[in-house]
Structure 1
Amino acid sequence: MEAEKKQKAPKKNRWKGLQAEFKKVIWPDKQTLVKQTVAVVSITAVVGVLIAVIDSGILQLLNLLIK
């Protein structure tokens, strides 16, 4: 029973630990955040289109082989 109590940290300690970790985070400025967001959305769109094109090509190839 005492081993279980030692494993669970009190909620206050968890909250203080969480606050301490958030203070260590280096948050990006607005310009950096916008640039990184645009980069992620752009790359995601390009990869999505690439996957769609490859998928369509494979589907067409399989349809030719089946017929």
Structure 2
Amino acid sequence: MGDTANNTENAPKKSFFKGVKSEFNKIIWPDKQTLAKQSAAVVAISVALGVVIAIVDIGVVYGIEQILKIG
């Protein structure tokens, strides 16, 4: 059982880096137009979500202030 652990420690590191390089070569990078569209979509959705969260926050704060005034 201890012999198998020593075999993995002595394994050549070059095979790992060759595997990483071969996997890296399989990546299909998006073109500039696709990248621009996806980036614009992410920014637009982030801004829209920020606005929605701000509106909900203002509503909750207003509601709590009204509840505290009543009491």
Band the TM-score falls in, shorter-chain normalisation: 0.7 to 0.9
| TM-score, length of structure 1 as denominator length | 0.82
Q: What is the rounded CA distance, in whole Å, between the counterparts of 2:66 and 2:26 in structure 1?
A: 58
Match of 1:23 in 2: 25
Pairs aligned (count): 67
| Unaligned ranges ≥5, structure 1 | none
Identical columns (%): 46
1:6 to 5, 8, 21: 8
| TM-score, length of structure 2 as denominator length | 0.78
| Unaligned ranges ≥5, structure 2 | none
Deviation at 1:7, TM superposition (A): 6.1
Runs of 4+ in 1 over 4 A off after TM superposition: 7-10
Larger radius of gyration: 2
Match of 2:41 in 1: 39
